Amino acid sequence: MKENKIIIDKLNNLLADFQIYYQNLRGFHWNIQGKAFFELHMKFEELYTDAAMKVDEIAERILTVGGVPLHGFEDYLATAQIKPVKNVHDAETAVKTIVSNLEHIVSVERSLKELAGESEDSGTEDQMSALIEEQEKTLWMYKAWLK
């Protein structure tokens, strides 16, 4: 049961990071300006829509393994490693922030995947594997955009 508490805590950390990442994406979507506006406005919407689905899946996993998902913004702000950003209007800063946020999220998912494997929690391990695979591809694309 001890490992379960650790997994629940780490899943809640991931949930908090995703909530801040999601809110950052909303801000980028609303505030992007410049020549890349049309391209990135649409891409940021895709990212935040996807992040909202992932938030729900992570919260449901926490419930599935016997925990209670964090659900207050104060809790997210206190728990998340990702920090909120404001007033980002330029494409490069927005994309660099997305890359940085996703790199952190993937590192948390890798840690969770390893812990879940050691705890024989194949559901969490599989969920993390799927998230990592998808987000590594997203990272590759946004890093390519920055070049």
Amino acid in position 17: D
Query: 73 vs 45, 63, 68, 103, 131, CA distance in Å?
Result: 21, 19, 15, 22, 23
Enter the pTM of the model.
0.96
Radius of gyration of the chain (CA): 16
How far apart are alpha carbons 69 and 67 in whole angstroms? Answer: 6
- The closest alpha carbon to 53, from 92, 86, 25, 82, belongs to 25
> Which residues touch 138 (CB under 8 Å, ≥6 apart)?
47, 102
Q: Do 63 and 71 touch, CB atoms closer than 8 A?
A: no
Q: What is the pLDDT along the chain (147 residues), one digit of tens a residue?
A: 456 999 999 999 999 999 999 999 999 999 999 999 999 999 999 999 999 999 999 999 999 999 999 999 999 999 999 999 999 999 999 999 999 999 999 999 999 999 999 999 999 999 999 999 999 999 999 999 999
User: Candidates 1.20.1260.10, 1.20.1250.20, 3.40.50.720, 3.40.50.300; correct CATH number of 2-146?
Assistant: 1.20.1260.10
How far apart are alpha carbons 31 and 48 in whole angstroms? Answer: 14
Q: Which residue has the tokens 């994309």?
A: 95
